[in-house]
Structure 1
Protein backbone atom coordinates (compact mmCIF):
# COMPACT_ATOMS: atom_id res chain seq x y z
CA UNK A 1 0.00 0.00 0.00
CA UNK A 2 2.91 2.35 0.57
CA UNK A 3 2.50 4.84 -2.26
CA UNK A 4 4.19 8.17 -2.74
CA UNK A 5 0.99 9.86 -3.86
CA UNK A 6 -1.89 10.69 -1.59
CA UNK A 7 -4.71 8.42 -2.66
CA UNK A 8 -8.24 8.89 -1.36
CA UNK A 9 -7.62 5.91 0.93
CA UNK A 10 -4.49 7.55 2.36
CA UNK A 11 -6.22 10.92 2.85
CA UNK A 12 -9.06 9.19 4.72
CA UNK A 13 -6.47 7.28 6.77
CA UNK A 14 -4.78 10.58 7.69
CA UNK A 15 -8.07 12.07 8.89
CA UNK A 16 -9.14 9.02 10.85
CA UNK A 17 -5.59 8.46 12.08
CA UNK A 18 -5.32 12.01 13.42
CA UNK A 19 -8.67 11.63 15.21
CA UNK A 20 -7.64 8.32 16.79
CA UNK A 21 -4.29 9.87 17.77
CA UNK A 22 -6.15 12.67 19.61
CA UNK A 23 -8.39 10.21 21.46
CA UNK A 24 -5.44 8.04 22.49
CA UNK A 25 -3.29 11.02 23.50
CA UNK A 26 -6.12 12.48 25.54
CA UNK A 27 -7.60 9.39 27.18
CA UNK A 28 -5.00 6.61 26.97
CA UNK A 29 -1.88 8.27 28.32
CA UNK A 30 -0.20 7.64 31.66
CA UNK A 31 1.38 10.55 33.59
CA UNK A 32 5.02 10.28 34.66
CA UNK A 33 6.82 12.02 37.53
CA UNK A 34 8.46 14.30 34.93
CA UNK A 35 6.30 17.46 34.52
CA UNK A 36 4.35 17.73 31.22
CA UNK A 37 5.56 14.28 30.16
CA UNK A 38 3.44 11.14 29.89
CA UNK A 39 3.53 7.65 28.45
CA UNK A 40 1.64 7.97 25.16
CA UNK A 41 -0.08 4.99 23.55
CA UNK A 42 -0.79 7.27 20.58
CA UNK A 43 2.76 6.65 19.30
CA UNK A 44 2.13 2.92 18.95
CA UNK A 45 -0.88 3.72 16.76
CA UNK A 46 1.15 6.35 14.86
CA UNK A 47 3.80 3.70 14.15
CA UNK A 48 1.16 1.29 12.80
CA UNK A 49 -0.22 3.97 10.48
CA UNK A 50 3.27 4.95 9.29
CA UNK A 51 4.13 1.33 8.48
CA UNK A 52 0.83 0.72 6.66
CA UNK A 53 0.37 4.06 4.84
CA UNK A 54 3.94 5.35 4.55
CA UNK A 55 5.94 8.40 5.60
CA UNK A 56 3.66 11.19 4.37
CA UNK A 57 0.63 9.76 6.15
CA UNK A 58 2.70 9.00 9.25
CA UNK A 59 4.08 12.53 9.36
CA UNK A 60 0.72 14.21 8.79
CA UNK A 61 -1.05 12.04 11.38
CA UNK A 62 1.65 12.96 13.92
CA UNK A 63 1.45 16.67 13.02
CA UNK A 64 -2.34 17.01 12.92
CA UNK A 65 -3.05 14.64 15.80
CA UNK A 66 -0.52 16.19 18.17
CA UNK A 67 -1.47 19.78 17.27
CA UNK A 68 -5.19 19.08 17.76
CA UNK A 69 -4.55 17.30 21.05
CA UNK A 70 -2.49 20.21 22.37
CA UNK A 71 -5.10 22.74 21.27
CA UNK A 72 -7.95 20.78 22.88
CA UNK A 73 -6.09 19.74 26.03
CA UNK A 74 -4.02 22.85 26.79
CA UNK A 75 -5.55 25.67 24.76
CA UNK A 76 -2.32 26.21 22.81
CA UNK A 77 0.05 24.16 20.69
CA UNK A 78 3.57 23.27 21.84
CA UNK A 79 5.10 23.33 18.36
CA UNK A 80 8.49 21.87 19.21
CA UNK A 81 6.90 18.58 20.26
CA UNK A 82 4.39 18.67 17.40
CA UNK A 83 7.35 18.84 15.00
CA UNK A 84 8.80 15.76 16.68
CA UNK A 85 5.54 13.84 16.24
CA UNK A 86 5.64 14.74 12.54
CA UNK A 87 9.30 13.66 12.39
CA UNK A 88 8.70 10.36 14.21
CA UNK A 89 5.73 9.40 12.01
CA UNK A 90 7.59 10.37 8.84
CA UNK A 91 10.83 8.61 9.77
CA UNK A 92 9.14 5.39 10.85
CA UNK A 93 7.35 5.42 7.49
CA UNK A 94 10.62 5.98 5.61
CA UNK A 95 12.71 3.49 7.56
CA UNK A 96 10.14 0.69 7.34
CA UNK A 97 9.44 0.89 3.61
CA UNK A 98 10.64 -2.68 3.04
CA UNK A 99 8.18 -4.10 5.57
CA UNK A 100 5.11 -5.26 3.66
CA UNK A 101 2.40 -5.96 6.22
CA UNK A 102 -0.20 -5.64 3.47
CA UNK A 103 1.10 -8.99 2.20
CA UNK A 104 0.29 -10.63 5.53
CA UNK A 105 3.92 -10.80 6.61
CA UNK A 106 5.55 -9.44 9.77
CA UNK A 107 8.50 -11.74 10.36
CA UNK A 108 11.07 -11.65 13.16
CA UNK A 109 13.38 -9.81 10.75
CA UNK A 110 10.61 -7.24 10.11
CA UNK A 111 10.01 -6.84 13.85
CA UNK A 112 13.70 -6.16 14.42
CA UNK A 113 13.84 -3.69 11.50
CA UNK A 114 10.68 -1.95 12.75
CA UNK A 115 12.03 -1.59 16.27
CA UNK A 116 15.47 -0.39 15.19
CA UNK A 117 13.71 2.16 12.96
CA UNK A 118 11.40 3.44 15.69
CA UNK A 119 14.24 3.62 18.24
CA UNK A 120 16.39 5.67 15.82
CA UNK A 121 13.50 8.00 14.91
CA UNK A 122 12.43 8.57 18.50
CA UNK A 123 15.95 8.90 19.92
CA UNK A 124 16.73 11.66 17.41
CA UNK A 125 13.30 13.26 17.79
CA UNK A 126 12.98 13.28 21.56
CA UNK A 127 16.67 13.31 22.51
CA UNK A 128 17.79 16.07 20.12
CA UNK A 129 15.05 17.81 18.11
CA UNK A 130 12.50 18.42 20.90
CA UNK A 131 14.97 19.83 23.44
CA UNK A 132 16.80 21.98 20.89
CA UNK A 133 13.53 23.43 19.58
CA UNK A 134 12.27 23.98 23.15
CA UNK A 135 15.39 26.03 23.85
CA UNK A 136 15.29 27.89 20.50
CA UNK A 137 11.53 28.62 20.38
CA UNK A 138 10.50 28.85 24.03
CA UNK A 139 13.81 29.72 25.77
CA UNK A 140 13.32 26.76 28.12
CA UNK A 141 16.18 25.71 30.40
CA UNK A 142 18.35 23.03 28.79
CA UNK A 143 18.44 20.66 31.77
CA UNK A 144 14.62 20.67 31.99
CA UNK A 145 13.93 20.03 28.30
CA UNK A 146 16.60 17.38 27.86
CA UNK A 147 15.21 15.54 30.90
CA UNK A 148 11.67 15.77 29.48
CA UNK A 149 12.81 14.76 25.99
CA UNK A 150 14.79 11.76 27.18
CA UNK A 151 11.94 10.62 29.47
CA UNK A 152 9.34 11.01 26.71
CA UNK A 153 11.59 9.27 24.20
CA UNK A 154 12.30 6.31 26.48
CA UNK A 155 8.60 5.92 27.33
CA UNK A 156 7.59 6.15 23.67
CA UNK A 157 10.28 3.69 22.55
CA UNK A 158 9.05 1.10 25.06
CA UNK A 159 5.39 1.75 24.25
CA UNK A 160 5.95 1.41 20.50
CA UNK A 161 8.18 -1.66 20.98
CA UNK A 162 5.46 -3.46 22.91
CA UNK A 163 2.08 -2.11 21.76
CA UNK A 164 3.21 -1.04 18.29
CA UNK A 165 4.75 -4.43 17.53
CA UNK A 166 1.55 -6.16 18.71
CA UNK A 167 -0.64 -3.82 16.63
CA UNK A 168 1.39 -4.34 13.47
CA UNK A 169 1.59 -8.08 14.02
CA UNK A 170 -2.17 -8.25 14.52
CA UNK A 171 -2.78 -6.12 11.45
CA UNK A 172 -0.51 -8.31 9.30
CA UNK A 173 -2.46 -11.39 10.39
CA UNK A 174 -5.64 -9.84 8.98
CA UNK A 175 -4.08 -9.49 5.53
CA UNK A 176 -3.97 -12.23 2.92
CA UNK A 177 -0.58 -13.66 2.17
CA UNK A 178 0.47 -12.60 -1.32
CA UNK A 179 0.95 -16.18 -2.47
CA UNK A 180 -2.09 -17.67 -0.73
CA UNK A 181 -4.25 -17.78 -3.85
CA UNK A 182 -3.42 -19.73 -6.95
CA UNK A 183 -5.06 -19.82 -10.35
CA UNK A 184 -6.60 -23.12 -11.44
Structure 2
Protein backbone atom coordinates (compact mmCIF):
# COMPACT_ATOMS: atom_id res chain seq x y z
CA UNK A 1 0.00 0.00 0.00
CA UNK A 2 1.02 3.62 -0.20
CA UNK A 3 3.71 4.79 2.17
CA UNK A 4 3.31 7.80 4.41
CA UNK A 5 6.10 10.25 3.60
CA UNK A 6 8.11 11.71 6.46
CA UNK A 7 7.05 15.12 7.79
CA UNK A 8 10.16 16.69 6.25
CA UNK A 9 9.29 15.29 2.83
CA UNK A 10 5.72 16.52 3.24
CA UNK A 11 6.85 20.06 4.13
CA UNK A 12 9.16 20.12 1.11
CA UNK A 13 6.33 18.80 -1.09
CA UNK A 14 4.02 21.55 0.23
CA UNK A 15 6.59 24.23 -0.60
CA UNK A 16 7.34 22.88 -4.06
CA UNK A 17 3.65 22.25 -4.71
CA UNK A 18 2.62 25.76 -3.68
CA UNK A 19 5.40 27.25 -5.83
CA UNK A 20 4.43 25.17 -8.88
CA UNK A 21 0.75 25.93 -8.31
CA UNK A 22 1.56 29.65 -8.20
CA UNK A 23 3.80 29.70 -11.27
CA UNK A 24 1.45 27.61 -13.41
CA UNK A 25 -1.66 29.43 -12.17
CA UNK A 26 -0.22 32.89 -12.59
CA UNK A 27 1.75 32.52 -15.80
CA UNK A 28 0.28 29.54 -17.70
CA UNK A 29 -3.45 30.16 -17.19
CA UNK A 30 -5.53 30.07 -20.36
CA UNK A 31 -8.17 32.84 -20.48
CA UNK A 32 -11.86 32.06 -21.05
CA UNK A 33 -14.80 34.23 -22.09
CA UNK A 34 -16.09 34.23 -18.49
CA UNK A 35 -14.38 37.00 -16.45
CA UNK A 36 -11.79 35.97 -13.83
CA UNK A 37 -12.01 32.32 -14.87
CA UNK A 38 -9.20 30.47 -16.62
CA UNK A 39 -8.38 26.98 -17.80
CA UNK A 40 -5.86 25.93 -15.20
CA UNK A 41 -3.27 23.18 -15.52
CA UNK A 42 -1.88 23.63 -12.02
CA UNK A 43 -4.59 21.34 -10.64
CA UNK A 44 -2.98 18.36 -12.38
CA UNK A 45 0.24 18.98 -10.44
CA UNK A 46 -1.71 19.55 -7.23
CA UNK A 47 -3.61 16.28 -7.72
CA UNK A 48 -0.40 14.36 -8.40
CA UNK A 49 1.21 15.77 -5.23
CA UNK A 50 -1.91 14.93 -3.20
CA UNK A 51 -1.79 11.34 -4.48
CA UNK A 52 1.95 10.89 -3.94
CA UNK A 53 2.40 12.79 -0.67
CA UNK A 54 -1.02 12.77 0.97
CA UNK A 55 -4.12 14.86 1.56
CA UNK A 56 -2.49 17.43 3.87
CA UNK A 57 0.10 18.22 1.21
CA UNK A 58 -2.73 18.64 -1.31
CA UNK A 59 -4.70 20.88 1.04
CA UNK A 60 -1.82 23.17 2.02
CA UNK A 61 -0.12 23.34 -1.40
CA UNK A 62 -3.46 24.26 -3.02
CA UNK A 63 -4.40 26.80 -0.37
CA UNK A 64 -0.97 28.49 -0.20
CA UNK A 65 -0.47 28.38 -3.97
CA UNK A 66 -3.87 29.96 -4.64
CA UNK A 67 -3.27 32.67 -2.02
CA UNK A 68 -0.01 33.54 -3.80
CA UNK A 69 -1.83 33.77 -7.14
CA UNK A 70 -4.55 35.99 -5.71
CA UNK A 71 -2.18 38.26 -3.78
CA UNK A 72 -0.38 39.03 -7.05
CA UNK A 73 -3.53 39.32 -9.14
CA UNK A 74 -7.23 39.52 -8.28
CA UNK A 75 -6.78 40.08 -4.56
CA UNK A 76 -7.73 37.62 -1.82
CA UNK A 77 -10.86 35.57 -2.56
CA UNK A 78 -10.95 33.12 0.33
CA UNK A 79 -13.80 31.16 -1.23
CA UNK A 80 -11.67 30.23 -4.27
CA UNK A 81 -8.53 29.70 -2.23
CA UNK A 82 -10.41 27.37 0.12
CA UNK A 83 -11.81 25.55 -2.91
CA UNK A 84 -8.28 24.83 -4.18
CA UNK A 85 -7.27 23.50 -0.77
CA UNK A 86 -10.36 21.31 -0.53
CA UNK A 87 -9.65 19.99 -4.03
CA UNK A 88 -6.18 18.81 -2.95
CA UNK A 89 -7.53 17.35 0.30
CA UNK A 90 -10.33 15.38 -1.39
CA UNK A 91 -8.09 13.91 -4.10
CA UNK A 92 -5.52 12.93 -1.48
CA UNK A 93 -8.14 11.30 0.73
CA UNK A 94 -9.77 9.40 -2.11
CA UNK A 95 -6.43 7.92 -3.18
CA UNK A 96 -4.89 7.22 0.22
CA UNK A 97 -4.41 3.58 -0.66
CA UNK A 98 -2.49 3.19 -3.89
CA UNK A 99 0.62 1.42 -5.13
CA UNK A 100 1.96 4.10 -7.44
CA UNK A 101 5.20 4.41 -5.44
CA UNK A 102 5.62 0.67 -6.02
CA UNK A 103 5.35 1.08 -9.79
CA UNK A 104 1.73 0.04 -10.11
CA UNK A 105 -0.77 2.28 -11.90
CA UNK A 106 -3.56 -0.01 -13.02
CA UNK A 107 -6.69 0.86 -14.95
CA UNK A 108 -8.60 0.66 -11.67
CA UNK A 109 -6.25 3.18 -10.05
CA UNK A 110 -6.54 5.48 -13.07
CA UNK A 111 -10.34 5.25 -12.82
CA UNK A 112 -10.19 6.04 -9.07
CA UNK A 113 -7.97 9.02 -9.85
CA UNK A 114 -10.33 10.42 -12.50
CA UNK A 115 -13.32 9.85 -10.20
CA UNK A 116 -11.52 11.61 -7.32
CA UNK A 117 -10.64 14.53 -9.62
CA UNK A 118 -14.27 14.90 -10.74
CA UNK A 119 -15.64 14.68 -7.18
CA UNK A 120 -13.03 17.11 -5.83
CA UNK A 121 -13.57 19.65 -8.62
CA UNK A 122 -17.35 19.38 -8.18
CA UNK A 123 -17.00 20.11 -4.46
CA UNK A 124 -14.59 22.98 -5.12
CA UNK A 125 -16.20 24.74 -8.10
CA UNK A 126 -19.88 23.79 -7.93
CA UNK A 127 -20.25 24.21 -4.18
CA UNK A 128 -17.50 25.89 -2.13
CA UNK A 129 -16.30 28.69 -4.45
CA UNK A 130 -19.67 29.92 -5.74
CA UNK A 131 -21.46 29.51 -2.42
CA UNK A 132 -18.63 31.36 -0.66
CA UNK A 133 -18.74 34.15 -3.24
CA UNK A 134 -22.47 34.62 -2.69
CA UNK A 135 -22.33 34.40 1.11
CA UNK A 136 -19.04 36.25 1.77
CA UNK A 137 -18.78 38.74 -1.10
CA UNK A 138 -22.46 39.18 -2.07
CA UNK A 139 -21.58 38.30 -5.68
CA UNK A 140 -24.43 37.66 -8.15
CA UNK A 141 -25.33 33.98 -8.00
CA UNK A 142 -25.66 33.56 -11.77
CA UNK A 143 -22.18 34.95 -12.37
CA UNK A 144 -20.39 32.85 -9.77
CA UNK A 145 -22.15 29.62 -10.72
CA UNK A 146 -21.21 30.28 -14.38
CA UNK A 147 -17.60 30.77 -13.27
CA UNK A 148 -17.76 27.65 -11.11
CA UNK A 149 -19.37 25.57 -13.85
CA UNK A 150 -16.69 26.49 -16.36
CA UNK A 151 -13.94 25.93 -13.78
CA UNK A 152 -15.42 22.50 -12.97
CA UNK A 153 -15.56 21.33 -16.58
CA UNK A 154 -12.23 22.76 -17.73
CA UNK A 155 -10.30 21.77 -14.61
CA UNK A 156 -11.76 18.28 -14.51
CA UNK A 157 -10.72 17.59 -18.09
CA UNK A 158 -7.23 19.08 -17.82
CA UNK A 159 -6.54 17.50 -14.42
CA UNK A 160 -7.84 14.08 -15.44
CA UNK A 161 -5.81 13.98 -18.66
CA UNK A 162 -2.55 15.55 -17.46
CA UNK A 163 -2.66 14.02 -13.98
CA UNK A 164 -3.28 10.52 -15.31
CA UNK A 165 -0.39 10.88 -17.76
CA UNK A 166 1.97 12.17 -15.07
CA UNK A 167 1.05 9.40 -12.62
CA UNK A 168 1.36 6.71 -15.30
CA UNK A 169 4.82 7.95 -16.30
CA UNK A 170 5.87 8.27 -12.65
CA UNK A 171 4.74 4.71 -11.89
CA UNK A 172 6.80 3.41 -14.82
CA UNK A 173 9.93 4.97 -13.30
CA UNK A 174 9.47 3.01 -10.08
CA UNK A 175 10.72 -0.51 -9.50
CA UNK A 176 7.78 -2.84 -9.05
CA UNK A 177 7.62 -4.66 -5.74
CA UNK A 178 8.96 -8.20 -6.13
CA UNK A 179 10.39 -7.58 -9.57
CA UNK A 180 14.02 -8.05 -8.52
CA UNK A 181 15.34 -11.59 -8.33
CA UNK A 182 18.56 -13.01 -6.96
CA UNK A 183 20.57 -15.00 -9.46
CA UNK A 184 23.12 -17.52 -8.35
Q: In which range does the TM-score fall when normalised by the shorter chain?
A: over 0.9
The structure-2 alpha-carbon separation of the partners of 1:127 and 1:2, relative to structure 1 and needing over 3 Å to count, comes to farther
For the 8 Å contact 1:2–1:97, the answer to whether it is kept is no
1:7 maps to which residue? 7
User: Is 1:155 equivalent to 2:154 in the alignment?
Assistant: yes
Quickly say closer, same or farther: Cα 1:112–1:70, change in 2 above 3 A.
same
Is 1:60 the counterpart of 2:82 in the alignment? no
| 1:124-143 equivalences in 2 (<5 Å) | 124-143=123-142
Q: Which secondary structure state, in structure 1, belongs to the residue aligned with residue 16 of structure 2?
A: helix
The equivalent of 2:117 in structure 1 is 118
Give the alignment of 1:20-169 within 5 angstroms: 20-74=20-74, 76-169=75-168
Number of residues paired by the alignment? Answer: 182
Distance 2:159 2:178 in 1: 29
Q: Report the aligned-residue RMSD.
A: 1.3
Tell me, yes or no, if the aligned pair for 1:103 and 1:177 is still in contact at 8 Å: yes
Consecutive unaligned residues in structure 1, runs of 5 or more: none
Structure 1: distance between partners of 2:180 and 2:138: 59
1:9 partner SS: helix
Flag structure 2 segments of 5+ consecutive residues without an equivalent: none
The alpha carbon displacement at 1:183 in A equals 4.8
